[in-house]
Amino acid sequence: MGRIDWKAGNMIYPVPAALVSCGGCEDEYNLITVSWTGTICTNPPLCYISLRKERLSHEIISREREFVINLSTEETARATDWCGVKSGREFNKFKECGLTALPASHVKAPIVAESPVAVECRVTEIKELGSHDMFLAEVLSVSVDEKYMDPDTGAFDMHAAGLIASAHGKYCGLKKPLGHFGYSIKKKKKKPRHRQRKKRS
């Protein structure tokens, strides 16, 4: 079978499915579904979101220079979709979706209580790119739901959290991990050899 060339476009999938919360006060709290988001740098911790100019969240974040990236789960998938197709100019999205707004620790924008991971961000630069503007941001804090913490290892169990991704317009659950970072070069442990004792005659 051969390959087919399509016109230039974004076919880098899967991508995150996240609810970005914003607003400087409770009366203007808003949510927007974002898939154009990701990591930029580890040290300092930087990330980005890209929004269309006509969206209400674009207006709010441009003014407040803060937002929170709330990772979505299988349980919040429907709310995540709804917040992507409805406008905050017409609806209170927290109320309509039955989501809970919690105070963040470093920004005015709220955290979505139902999200297992919330990343608090402060905008450092806005880049006008075309259909979308990119909001480059510094990560100020990460809030996680303690019920997904492994009591034995102290690690956060991403798989148990039921995170979802977006792939070509569809929301997809994440399957079991296939490996961990560096597993392809990890040396296998040698099984200890058991020496046989010589029988005395």
3-12, 49-58, 93-102, 188-197: least confidently modelled range: 188-197
Domains and CATH numbers, the chain: 15-181 (2.30.110.10)
Kindly report, residue by residue over 89-138, the tens digit of the pLDDT. 999 999 999 999 999 999 999 999 999 999 999 999 999 999 999 999 99
pTM of the predicted protein model: 0.89
Question: Distance (Å, rounded) from C-alpha 160 to C-alpha 151?
Answer: 13
Of residues 159 and 47, which shows the higher confidence score?
Answer: 47
pLDDT at 199 over 80: no
Predicted confidence band of residue 175 (pLDDT cuts 50, 70, 90): confident
pLDDT of residue 67: 98
pLDDT of residue 200: 59
Tokens of residue 189, six digits? 């442990």
